[in-house]
Amino acid sequence: MPQLTTALTKMLGIRVPVIQGGMQWVGVPRLAAAVSEAGGLGILTALTQPNPDALRQAIRETRKLTSRPFGVNITLLPSINPPDYEGYARAAVEEGVKIFETAGNNPGPLIKYFKSQGCIVVHKCTTIRHAKSAERLGVDLLSIDGFECAGHPGEDDIGGLVLMARAIKELNVPFVASGGIADARGLAAALALGAVGANMGTRFMCTVESPIHQNIKDKIVASSERDTVHIFRTLHNTARVYKNKVAMEVVAIERRGNAKFEDVRDLVSGARGRQVYEKGDPDAGIWSAGVAVGLINDVPTCEELLRRLEREVAEIIGGLQTVVVSPDAKAKL
């Protein structure tokens, strides 16, 4: 089996240059451990846990399932009553976690704390200007999120192709590609564009070890790239979600004009979204999905998925060598 070696695999001590996205309600011990055991980097989502002590337990549970590296995601959300971010961060560090993914606004204090504890920090950005700011804060790795991604793609609507081409020219810190990547061609393309690996969220939702209901996995397999939609555009907090009845109701309210968050609060509640994954009703609430749903045709184990990626990326990169013809070879033709 060929092995893909990049700055990411060396930095994190993993075999396959793939990070599992930190997804609310999805990044739990079973999935994170399965990704890490399969050679990638599994990620626990801190805010899936109700409090820092629950995160401690999740970390311990993950350690029982894998001895390989895994990380913790802490996403800073716009909120009137913010979660205890500092408590989550301290709990994870005290439990020995050494790799953190941060996302959201004003990550400076968290990044400073993690770096003071000798941790590796990956920060997720949707623009080059934000990536440069994160560089100045001392992050080790950047996750460059294209417009194709699930969740919040920012407000500039720049696709990954252009973002990565800009990133390799302008950033000094290595970066992984995030958004729209679910197969070997996407990973190979990201590597060609200068990324050291990929962050995949939607693809890992649709694996055997993913904790979401089988009905939702089947829905993803049956979907095309046209089955997502943006909400909160008029609220300047754009989010890409699965195109279901609830999402289209939110879009309709926004299109009427002058919509406020209070007008859609009940429709988009996290409790309703969690019901989607637990009960298997795709219309129970809002749930995140990237355009990569159009590339997902099966529900493999994490081991099967990452082994397939390794093999197929090596084949694709090897095949590209036939595109390059040396002048000497040309002269002989």
pLDDT digits (tens, 9 = 90+) for 249-262: 999 999 999 999 99
**pLDDT at position 164, please?**
97
Cα separation, 269 vs 62, in Å, equals: 28
Q: Are 265 and 271 within 8 A, CB to CB?
A: no
Name residue, tokens 């129970």. Answer: 284
Q: Which residues contact 263 (CB under 8 A, 6 or more apart)?
A: 253
Is the pLDDT reported for residue 1 higher than 80?
no
Is the pLDDT reported for residue 156 higher than 80?
yes
Comparing CA positions, the residue from 141, 143, 125, 198 lying closest to residue 174 is 141
Cα separation, 265 vs 259, in Å, equals: 11
3-state DSSP assignment of residue 68: coil
Cα separation, 285 vs 301, in Å, equals: 27
Tell me the pLDDT tens digit for each residue of 88-138: 999 999 999 999 999 998 899 999 999 999 999 999 999 999 999 999 999
Q: Which residues contact 239 (CB under 8 A, 6 or more apart)?
A: 151, 152, 230, 231, 232, 286, 288
Specify the range with the lowest mean pLDDT, choosing from 68-77, 101-110, 301-310, 324-333.
Answer: 324-333
Long-range contacts of 57-61 (CB under 8 A, 24+ apart): 58/28, 58/29, 59/91, 59/92, 59/95, 59/96, 59/97, 60/95, 61/29
Instruction: Categorize the per-residue pLDDT at 2 as very low, low, confident or very high, splitting at 50, 70 and 90.
Output: confident
Measured CA distances, 184 to 16, 20, 69, 103, 321 (Å): 12, 15, 23, 26, 17
Q: What is the dihedral of CA 67, 183, 209, 280, to 10 degrees?
A: 150
Measured CA distances, 252 to 13, 154, 234, 248, 285 (Å): 47, 21, 11, 6, 15
Neighbours of 172 (CB within 10 A): 7
Is the pLDDT reported for residue 333 higher than 70?
no
Tell me the pLDDT tens digit for each residue of 158-212: 999 999 999 999 999 999 999 999 999 999 999 999 999 999 999 999 999 999 9
Rounded mean pLDDT of 224-233? 97
Measured CA distances, 94 to 110, 122, 245, 307 (Å): 15, 19, 43, 33
3-state DSSP assignment of residue 153: coil
Q: Where are the beta strands (DSSP E) in 48-148?
A: 70-76, 99-104, 120-125, 141-145
Is the pLDDT reported for residue 326 higher than 90?
no
Cα separation, 171 vs 130, in Å, equals: 11
Cα 316 to the chain's mean position, in Å?
23
Residue 38: HSE in the Cβ half-sphere, 13 Å Cα cutoff = 28
Residue by residue, DSSP assigns 233-296 as TTTT--EEEE--HHHHHHHHHHHTSS--HHHHTTTT-HHHHHHHHHH--TTSS--B--GGGGG-
- Phi first, then psi: give them for residue 327, nearest 5 degrees: -55, -40
Q: For the chain, what are the domain ranges?
A: 7-211+299-323, 228-279
Q: What is the fold of 7-211+299-323?
A: TIM Barrel (3.20.20)
Is the pLDDT reported for residue 297 higher than 80?
yes
